[in-house]
Structure 1
Amino acid sequence: MKQPVILFALLVLCRCAVAQETIKQAPAGFDAIQASIPHGKIDSVMYPSKTVGNDRRMLIYTPPGYSKKKKYPVLYLLHGIGGDEKEWLNGGSPQVILDNLYKDKKVEPMIVVMPNGRAMKDDRAGGNVFEPARVEAFATFEKDLLNDLIPFVEKNYPVLTDREHRAIAGLSMGGGQSLNFGLGNLDKFAWVGGFSSAPNTKAPEVLIPDPAAAKAQLKLLWISCGDKDDLIRFSERTHDYLVQHQVPHIYHIEPGVHDFKVWKNGLYLFSQLIFKPVDLSAW
């Protein structure tokens, strides 16, 4: 009797190992325009920034069927070091991804704000993007976001204003910003996502000095990266710290490098999880 029992146990272990290694990928066509379905709308909007000292530009996506009579949660979606408020639009087609998800009833209706995360008067994406002043402007954006951008959105759009209905996520430099600002302001954000987060990501013990508070307040902490990404170590060290301190989160590593293939998949998956109950055991 021992041999069948041993074989059964090995079979179960093998199946578990395969399940744990399953890569979640968006299906083919997830980012292809479907002309016959309802579409959301993207507007370019200016808002006054006391932090920077001038008006700044952002893009705002409102979902299909948008109504000013309804209140919506908000996702703040941030770009990388070489981009601006149009980077997601030009490289990631977030409006197409979300339109298709709405068609399949896989996401909660939400407003998506895509700002320029380089908080300085000359916030264009050109020039030497690694110049110290331009890099520092990404850190300055935290003040602009909290003190200028969010208040403007909440004054001018029908949005829910509690932390449970506010999410922040981004790619690369914007992923680092999202972890830094989201985890650094748990009173403001309950949903936080970093896609291929860059070296601007603070050390884990600085990001999460109080693991118990993070555990109690976060609805979802998402960290994803391509397995061939040279920056994966920044995601790994955060994940390792979270595991060590038993902070629930999703750590999603998929085949890929530092590019929009990975970031679009991150948005596809993350957007389906926010503003609703999350079953971490499925991951």
Structure 2
Amino acid sequence: MSPDPRPGGRPPKRRGLVVAVAAAVAVVLVAAAALAVREFRQRGEDQVSVGGVPVAGPPSSSPSGSASCDGGANGDLRFDTEMTGTDGEQVPYSVSLPADYYTACKTYPVLYALHGRDQSNATFLPEAERLRAGVEAGALRDVVIVTPDSNKDGRWEGVYDTHFIDDLIPHVESTYRVEPGAAQRLLVGWSMGGHGAFRFGVEHPDDFAAVWSVDGAMSREPSSYLEFLDGVKAEQPQIRLVGGDLNGDRVEQVVNLFAQQGVDFPYQRLPLGHDFKLFVEADQQADWATLRWMDSQLGRQL
């Protein structure tokens, strides 16, 4: 055999082998990276920051706007997040998704729950989730629960009205896999949020299928609600109210005022302390009469 005429003999062949191995490793790494990205996307999570603290964000959206579902994805079922309002301000809110959200590939109605004074969207979410007991009992179809924020004492008026009605609701309907439109929206409010729920119900009478105001800390000037009387008479919003030991008198003042104007809102007075849990338990003991009524209103013509 004649000697290799190339300088250095066989090393060039070894260099070729090294290059081939390196290329193969690169292909493997690229494939692994692609798989990791695919798995991350399938988890249906983004990461956002609230006050500089990362929290789980909403599921990724499909091009059509509604959250995608591939039947095998998974992600957080409850989280605190935020969106940017039309005024450029951050709008915090919290979400509780149905247990089968990532696997059922279906849409859900939305139940918005308004917190009371000294609470926030994040602190009220566990309270609002008590209503899922009604879902488990078959009184209410499964829903996406959303708790907006009114900055602890925002009274659900002014900028908090705009952020909720004009900003958050369209954002939820374009971000999550929910049934769009007023006929698929329920509204529950507690204490200060009870005032907010009633106020939204009469101010925006065609924006919700049903409203439940729970021991609402109603306005000290009940006549202020009459500003929306004409719209209430025209649209006939479905609103029910319940009062307890703390705010029952204030609720009755408002109910009686509207009754004098020919508008009767179903109202119940219960001997209960000021605790949202007690009112949910009372409805449970009544075979979920209120939640069954709310469920019956979903899909009605508005």
TM-score (norm 2): 0.63
Q: For the Cα contact (< 8 Å) 1:183–1:192, is it kept in 2?
A: no
* 2:256 is the counterpart of 1:240: yes
Counterpart position of 1:81: 117
Structure 2, unaligned runs of 5 or more: 1-75
Distance 2:168 2:232 in 1: 28
1:186 to 199, 202, 205: 205
Asked whether the equivalents of residues 225 and 235 of structure 1 are also in contact (C-alpha less than 8 Å), the reply is: yes
C-alpha distance after superposition, 1:7-28 (max 9, x if no partner): xxxxxxxxxxxxxxxxxxxxxx
1:58–1:85 contact (8 Å) kept in structure 2: yes
Whether the 8 Å contact between 1:177 and 1:200 is mirrored in structure 2 is no
CA distance in 2, matches of 1:210, 1:112: 27
Measured at CA, do residues 136 and 238 of structure 1 come closer, stay the same or move farther in structure 2, by a change above 3 Å?
A: closer
- Alignment correspondent of 2:217: 198
- The counterpart of 1:254, out of the listed 252, 256, 270, is 270
The structure that has the greater radius of gyration is 2
Which of these residues, 78, 86, 89, is aligned with residue 42 of structure 1? Answer: 78
In the alignment, is residue 102 of structure 1 matched against residue 131 of structure 2?
A: no
Gaps of at least 5 residues in structure 1 are 1-39, 119-124, 130-134, 279-283
Deviation, 1:207, is: 4.1
Deviation track 1:121-141 (CA, whole Å, cap 9, x = no partner) reads xxxx4xxx5xxxxx4774321
Q: Which residue of 1 aligns with 2:186?
A: 167
- 1:62 pairs, out of 78, 81, 97, with 97
Contact 2:155 2:196 in 1 (8 A): no
8 Å contact kept, 1:73–1:275: no
The answer on whether the counterparts of 1:225 and 1:253 sit within 8 Å (CA) in structure 2 is yes
Is the contact made by 1:171 and 1:263 (CA closer than 8 Å) also made in structure 2? no
Divergent runs of 4+, >6 A: none
- Supply the AA of the counterpart residue of 2:180: T
Correspondence for 2:240: 222
Residue aligned with 2:296, SS: coil
Q: CA deviation at 1:188?
A: 1.5
In structure 1, what is the Cα distance between the partners aligned to 2:129 and 2:108? 16
SS of residue matched to 2:255 = helix
The answer for the alignment partner of 1:112 in structure 2 is: 145
Which residue identity lines up with residue 70 of structure 1 in the other structure? Answer: K
Q: 1:277 to 1:211 in 2, by over 3 A?
A: closer
Q: Which has the higher contact order (CA 8 A, sep 6+)?
A: 1
Relative to 1, partners in 2 of residues 1:277 and 1:167: Cα closer, same or farther, differing over 3 Å?
Answer: closer
Q: Percent identity?
A: 22
Counterpart CA distance in 2 for 1:164 and 1:214 is 13
Aligned to 1:4: none
Change (3 A) 1:261 1:72: closer
Q: Is 1:208 aligned to 2:229, yes or no?
A: yes
